[in-house]
Amino acid sequence: MTNDVYARQIIQAGKDLGITPRGIVIAFATVYVEANWLNYANSKVPESLTIPHDAVGSDGKSVGLFQQQVVWGNGAWWWGSAADCMDPYKSARLFFQRLATKPYQAATTDVAAGAIAQSIQGSAFPDRYAQRMAEAQRYYDRLAGGTVPDVDPNRPPYNEFPIWSENHYDGRSGVTIDAIFLHTSEGFVGRDDAAEALSLWYQPKSRQVAYHYAVSQASDGGVTVVDNVDTDDASWSVLSANNRSINLCFAGTQAAWSRNDWITKFGNAIDVAAYLAVQDCKKYGIPTNVIAPPYTGRIPGISDHRYVTKVLGDGTHTDLGDGFPWDVFTAAVKKYATGETATPQPEPKPVVVGPADDQLNMRFHCLGDRTLVEAVAVLLDKELGTNNAGKPGVVMQ
């Protein structure tokens, strides 16, 4: 993982916790001093060696970009588990949670800012943080333009963090990204942590599958987005369409779900998926066309795994299935793409007709513009070999 990827995750963690640019620059200076942007495992922390890392250290039980101690005592972690402390986003949140209790906004000089970092880190070399502040500020300015971008006011609520998978190609082999495909996981159904569980399941290369995003909705309605593969890289999701596509999996769902299942169990997640799809469409210049079954349209645009099977002719997958509420998803895409609100079409309701006499006199398109009586007469003629359909009148007793 590159320094910029790490740095952007730190910026995101700061944004999510309401940390100002000054606080994020202090975090950057801290990473420069502690690890120089290398995500360290530790030879004294065996579990850290099983987690993706850039280097192996041996200082105490310190791991990760911030060199946070993996120490358990008095019924709690000193900083956190090895997994949390080696996760760029989660470790940054741990740092920012402590920074938020400090008067860091008043630390307007490099020396004062360095003292804030030292009060959190407790380093044996307290002066080093101030020495890296100027470099940290330049790096931050390059990535964020000097300010933390405002949170998109249209962004739906969701929690996001990365669990990176090995199952991807580096880059896209020069192929233009022109599709976003949606998937079901089939497994982890009913779990509040479905996105995280799925991400951990296909993290190792032995699984030979991954998506760019795993998205789940908990029983309380909260949505979690786990980033698994950088969208600049091709995830192993859709066979020959990998290089051209971004792939999002609804973790904890099944292709057999009904429309009601989707709306009641994953309505919020569908909205978040639409938002993510629109952001990636804007980033990569993909039209925000939604191509739903029976696939009369064609990519570029947004569709599902079954499109790859039916239209591109690769594989046998049928997800998202027949019950997915494409009208709801399409309305959400339009909302986030244009700011316009489109009302999803309600499910068709039976047409209520009048009394029995009216029904007998009505002509129905489905019966060839015949009345019910005329249609029955045609059927009887066909069955009995008679020719009574056009005869007028009735038989009186």
What is the rounded distance in angstroms from the CA atom of residue 340 to the CA atom of residue 7?
34
What is the tens place of the pLDDT at every residue in 18-75? Answer: 899 999 999 999 999 999 999 999 999 999 999 888 899 998 899 999 999 988 766 6
β pairing state of 159-162 and 223-227: parallel
What is the tens place of the pLDDT at every residue in 207-260? Answer: 999 999 999 999 999 999 888 998 889 999 999 999 999 999 999 999 999 999
What is the tens place of the pLDDT at every residue in 273-305? Answer: 999 999 999 989 999 999 999 999 999 999 999
What is the tens place of the pLDDT at every residue in 98-109? Answer: 999 999 999 999
Q: Is the separation of the CB atoms in 31 and 37 below 8 Å?
A: yes
With b for 16 or more beta-carbon neighbours within 10 A and e for fewer, the 271-298 pattern comes to bbbbbbbbebbeebebebebbbbeeeee
pTM above 0.85, yes or no: no
pLDDT reading at 367 higher than 80: no
CA torsion 6-10-16-19 (nearest 10°) is -160
pLDDT reading at 348 higher than 80: no
Q: Domain spanning 159-338: which superfamily?
A: Peptidoglycan recognition protein-like (3.40.80.10)
226 secondary structure, DSSP code? E
Contacts of 56 (CB under 8 A, 6+ apart): 40, 41, 42, 43, 49
Of residues 321 and 365, the one with the higher pLDDT is 321
What is the tens place of the pLDDT at every residue in 167-213? Answer: 999 889 999 999 999 999 999 999 999 999 999 999 999 999 999 99
pLDDT at 76: 65
pLDDT reading at 127 higher than 80: yes
pLDDT at 395: 56
